[in-house]
Amino acid sequence: MNELGNARATLLQVGEEGEAQRIDNYLLRRLKGVPKSHVYRVLRSGEVRVNSGRVRPDYRLRIGDRVRVPPMRLASPASRPAPRPLELPLVHEDAALLVIDKPSGIAVHGGSGVSYGVIEALRAARPQAKFLELVHRLDRDTSGLLMVAKKRSALLELHRMLRAGEVEKIYLAAVQGRWRGGARELSAALHKYVTSSGERRVSVREDGLRAVTRIRPLAVGDRFSLLEARLLTGRTHQIRVHLAHAGHPVVGDDKYGDFELNRSLARTGVGRLLLHAHRLAFDHPATGKRMALEAPWPEALRRFAEQHLPAHAR
């Protein structure tokens, strides 16, 4: 560790990018390289002042607030590789929001052994942007539509809409087995836990959180099926766990899938999770205009469907 900058306190003026944000999250974003434990320690000790007064870690900032931050010890910049700008397919952009078609294999943010992800790469590519925040998340190996807010007001409104179920989120999934029963809902409650090795996992458990996925078959074959999955709730790994529990794991799923089948398919060129965030529909957070966005089928899913499924709508 080394001391970066001078040894005096820093005064931060809160603008639109910090409006309604919790002080702890605001500082974690602004103080890159400072351990989270250190940020919470100076908050609890009262060394961080807002408008000359002490605040709790859950205090929500207002435009114009003056935040005094004590001298902080930062990790050496060389200890972690700097984010590189990534060329990401842009589906939509306006003053409040951008939507990308995230490729499979790229994390949405750094952490858990990943130095950086989509959001860090976007910030590196747009150093002039005052505000860029993920609206929601996709698993690293899931491809498709990912929303990023360019204004805090848009982020807060989209979060409200997601909680209220006002955002239509539709995925495409290639799964193992012949789907039977037509369109139906999967509603097993889900429990999130961490394994002894630190891996995040989800299981079906009666005392878990409510989770509902609406399934509609698009093409059904003897060995595989293509499904449309609409999320009515937004739990971690929800589609993957619901489908595995129903006896139809997603092809290429290395956590909940058929590992022998995945190894066999990998030899034929199927080396990724065949789950794709295909469609988003919502009222624009600033204008109220209805938006309907789609990400085209990834090549891996298209090839798999052509080789293993009967004729289907594309």
Catalytic residues: 139
Q: Would you say how long the chain is, in residues? A: 314
Rounded Cα gap, residues 181 and 50, in angstroms = 58
Question: Do residues 118 and 88 make contact, with C-beta atoms less than 8 angstroms apart?
Answer: yes
Q: What is the CA radius of gyration of the chain?
A: 22
Rounded Cα gap, residues 68 and 85, in angstroms = 31
**Exposed (0-12), middle (13-18) or buried (19+): which is 164, by Cβ within 10 Å?**
exposed
In the block, residue with structure tokens 């942007």: 129
- Quote the tokens at residue 118: 């989509």
Question: Do residues 11 and 67 make contact, with C-beta atoms less than 8 angstroms apart?
Answer: yes
Cβ count near 140 (within 10 Å) = 17
- Quote the tokens at residue 259: 């590992």
3-state helix/strand/coil string of 12-65: EECCHHHCCCEHHHHHHHHCCCCCHHHHHHHHHCCCCEECCEECCCCCECCCCC
